[in-house]
Amino acid sequence: MKRLTLLAAVTAAALASAAPALADSFTLWVRADGSTFMPKIVDAFNASHQTKAELQIVPNAELVPKYAVAAASGNAPDALSLDLIYTPSFAAAGQLEDMTDLAKSLPYYASLSQAHLSVGTFEGHIYGVPFSADSSVLIWNKDLFKQAGLDPEKGPTTWAEIRADAEKVKKLGPDIYGYYFSGNCGGCNIFTFTPLIWASGGDIFSADGKTAKLDSPQMRDAVAFYQSMVKDGLVPAGSRTDTGSNFFAAFATGKIGIAPSGAFAIGALNTQYPNLHYGVTFLPGKTGGWSSFAGGDNFVVTKGTKKLALIKEFLEFAYSLPGQTLLAKYGSLPIRSDIAKEALAGLDSRYLVAAEAMAKGKTPYSVVFNDLINSANGPWNTTLNKVFFADAAAIEPALKECDATMQSIIDAAK
């Protein structure tokens, strides 16, 4: 947040003042990832309520710095749909309104996504409530499985099964590969690689985000698992330099047997690649069990807004069954577990797997998440990109160094 504050001081003068809102309206920002479903829910709310939400869509990479600038200069929107992992950073900076009373007044509070609420809570107070959701899952190509003599209706449930299935698929041809991951993408790997560690009993941070925990048997085992598949040619060479551009596209070619992905892939594959037959299952632990990264956005309110009552009205509409159904139709998993099945009724049944993954998923908590994880030059991305494509002897020293580097970044933010 120190970097965000500096950015705000340097660029505040360049930020155009927001247009004044109508008396019975509030201003709302969302990152471009929400541009499919957010306009739909806003339009439905505005059409049925006297209160109006004034929506602005902001490019993904611009939203966090733009909001930091706006909050520092007094031009922030009343509310914001924010990538949930950034909630602790803005809460720690004192830029968000305490939503504890609002959240706990909701009769379905206990059914809201606990992962979203975990990162929406700072020092015992709730500063962000769940809004949109995605989950990480494992997908497999049914046609390739069938050609390889595997059961096309059964996805792998352990690392050994992933490995064995990937080996059989790879034998189908030189341009066919058993497994794929984006090897130079910190965000991709926190989303899809970390659940392998969680499901095996490990973690990368303590629950309060104040201690790095990468130097663990579970982390070493997970890295070795990926490293061995790379070494044995089950993963295409392009994985090493992929910064995320092929995170979805590689599997969509029909030449990848298994890939970790997200719930978003279900709609994208159905729409863009209707002839690709695939299955969806959970990301497994080493010997069984499963976990998922619960992603998406938290709904946060700017400190000092006078529009809290109007915002609550909007949230209650979004949380209703019609609201959750509308959001699900346009790409967001339900964030209320008590009505998730109803909200997904009539949609692809594979969404039910993704919804279960999200409901029981986890989200890492850190006030310096970007510096640790999302930054291309941060310790998470640089370390994984190094050890995934190295030899076994590199794993332990690399993870020890990464753990120490992460801890120094965490300590500097205290």
Q: Which domains does the chain have, with CATH numbers?
A: 2-134+294-359 (3.40.190.10), 135-293+367-412 (3.40.190.10)
Query: Taking a C-beta distance cutoff of 8 angstroms, is the pair 112, 358 a contact?
Result: no
How many C-alpha atoms does 411 have within 13 Å on its Cβ side? 7
Helix (H) or strand (E) holding 278: strand 278-281
DSSP SS3 for 235:
coil
Query: Taking a C-beta distance cutoff of 8 angstroms, is the pair 300, 96 a contact?
Result: yes
Handedness of CA 335, 340, 346, 348 (dihedral sign): positive
pTM (2 d.p.): 0.92
Handedness of CA 121, 334, 296, 82 (dihedral sign): negative
Query: Taking a C-beta distance cutoff of 8 angstroms, is the pair 283, 196 a contact?
Result: yes
Phi-psi domain of 197 (left: phi exceeds 0; alpha: psi -120 through 50; beta: other): alpha
Residue 395 is which amino acid? I
pLDDT tens for the chain, 414 residues long, are 444 443 343 333 333 334 444 569 999 999 999 999 999 999 999 999 999 999 999 999 999 999 999 998 999 999 999 999 999 999 999 999 999 999 999 999 999 999 999 999 999 999 999 999 999 999 999 999 999 999 999 999 999 999 999 999 999 999 999 999 999 999 999 999 999 999 999 999 999 999 999 999 999 999 999 999 999 999 999 999 999 999 999 999 999 999 999 999 999 999 999 999 999 999 999 999 999 999 999 999 999 999 999 999 999 999 999 999 999 999 999 999 999 999 999 999 999 999 999 998 999 999 999 999 999 999 999 999 999 999 999 999 999 999 999 999 999 997
Handedness of CA 361, 209, 198, 82 (dihedral sign): positive
What are the tokens at 364? 């890492």
Query: Each residue of 350-381: b (16+ CB within 10 Å) or e?
Result: bbbbbbbbbbbbbbbbbbbbbbbbbbeebbbb
User: Helices 217-231 and 379-388 meet at what angle, rounded to 10?
Assistant: 50
User: Helices 159-170 and 217-231 meet at what angle, rounded to 10?
Assistant: 10
